[in-house]
Amino acid sequence: MQRFEQPPTDPAFVQNPYPFYDRARASGDLFWWNDYNMTCAVSHKAVQTILRDKRMGRECPPEQAPAIPDHLRRFYAVEAHSMLEREPPTHTRLRSLVLRAFTSRTIAALGPDIRQLCHDLIDRFPSEPFDLLTAYAQPVPVVIIARLLGVPEERADDLLRWSNAMVAMYQARRTRATEDAAIAATADFTAFMRSYINQRRKSPGDDLISTLIAAEEAGEKLSEDELISTCILLLNAGHEATVHTLGNGVKTLMEHKQRTISDKLVEEIIRYDPPLHMFTRWVYEDVELFGERFKRGDQIGCLLGAANRDPAAYDAPNQFDPARKGPQNTSFGGGIHFCVGAPLARLELQIALEVLMERCPTLHLNEPPSYGDVYHFHGLERVMVRV
């Protein structure tokens, strides 16, 4: 297995990680990323295989679990109840309960609300240059997930701030200041959700939190800690990736002079410049994959952004092609941890881009956007536009 050195905070890599992925993929399906001290899957076939292999998963084997510093215990206590970090049978129970509240009918019913919200936000666009991220890409998903959960949307700014602080724990540039901010956000977010859940226990509504409180699977309900972690996960994941995808997508559309929105174009945006570039798996039993041997406790990074640009899976993968044919992209993950919010994300992207292009036919970039130093996420710092 070939070894590669590539700091994930290197400015050139931050702005364009795809040339590095191409170099690494040329050495095979797997490579060793020195900076992460970890094997990474870089081909579409390898990423899809590992995401679906039940001999690997998200939950850290107990003997590999690192000691958690005292100052981080509150953050990881919340993470410990997240279905994203659990495996069957706990994951199966949590996901089954969430899916009961996250039905295709529930998601489809949000369409008119999403469309109206987009129009309302565009009505407030200024005539001078402005940041499309803060004016449009951020409020669309955070307001919609707040409405879906049933939490007050006037708290959207708090939800966004807490979520950004917690998600920053997974960035390569993480520092002690990042950790302190995440702990403060975790405390505020947890207290807010606990009080709101208690309100909903006494007075249920027609919302996802009330549905989760009532939902049962094989006689089991979500514990309060699981309910809090699930709501935080849905809020964090429910907007973070969509904000990045909307921003990246508008940049791509403007650069390619593309204004006609279709289902295929939305899928191509999701493939071409996805918001999440690495998703890790723990190995649970000794296994051989793509000519390499792995032992229990090893970790493998699935490079989603690299898999989406694999020439073995897609013709001219570095080109943006709204009519593209090819296999399912890896941007939403795969296997039992496939993103539960994928249908909502697709619907938000479709409607938000449709309304934006209909209402703002002269929309154009006011300056070249630059990507933030947020790997393993991939999103723009701002998108300055003029209508």
Q: What are phi and psi of 246, to 5 degrees?
A: -65, -45
Tally the domains of the chain: 1
The predicted pLDDT at position 213 comes to 86
**Which residues, in sequence order, are bridge partners of residue 287?**
294
pLDDT by position in tens, the chain (length 387): 999 999 999 999 999 999 999 999 999 999 999 999 999 999 999 999 999 999 999 999 988 888 899 999 999 899 888 888 999 999 998 898 888 777 888 889 999 999 999 999 999 999 999 999 999 999 999 999 888 888 888 888 898 899 889 988 888 889 999 999 999 999 999 999 999 899 998 999 888 888 888 886 667 788 888 889 988 888 888 778 899 999 999 999 999 999 999 999 999 999 999 999 999 999 999 999 999 999 999 999 999 999 999 999 999 999 999 999 999 999 999 999 999 989 999 999 999 999 999 999 999 999 999 999 999 999 999 999 999
The predicted pLDDT at position 218 comes to 63
| Structural domain span for residue 275 | 3-386
Using the structure block, give the residue that is written with the tokens 């969509």.
242
Sign of dihedral through CA atoms 49, 53, 55, 59?
positive
Q: Are 82 and 188 in contact (CB under 8 A)?
A: no
Sign of dihedral through CA atoms 321, 267, 359, 382?
negative
Look up residue 222 and give its two tokens: 């979500």
**DSSP for 238-269, written as a single string:** HHHHHHHHHHHHHHHHHHTT-----HHHHHHH
289: domain CATH number is 1.10.630.10
The predicted pLDDT at position 361 comes to 94
Angstrom distance (rounded) from CA 255 to CA 49: 33
Q: Are 305 and 378 in contact (CB under 8 A)?
A: yes
The predicted pLDDT at position 67 comes to 87
Q: Are 140 and 352 in contact (CB under 8 A)?
A: yes
The predicted pLDDT at position 206 comes to 86
Q: What are phi and psi of 308, to 5 degrees?
A: -70, -15
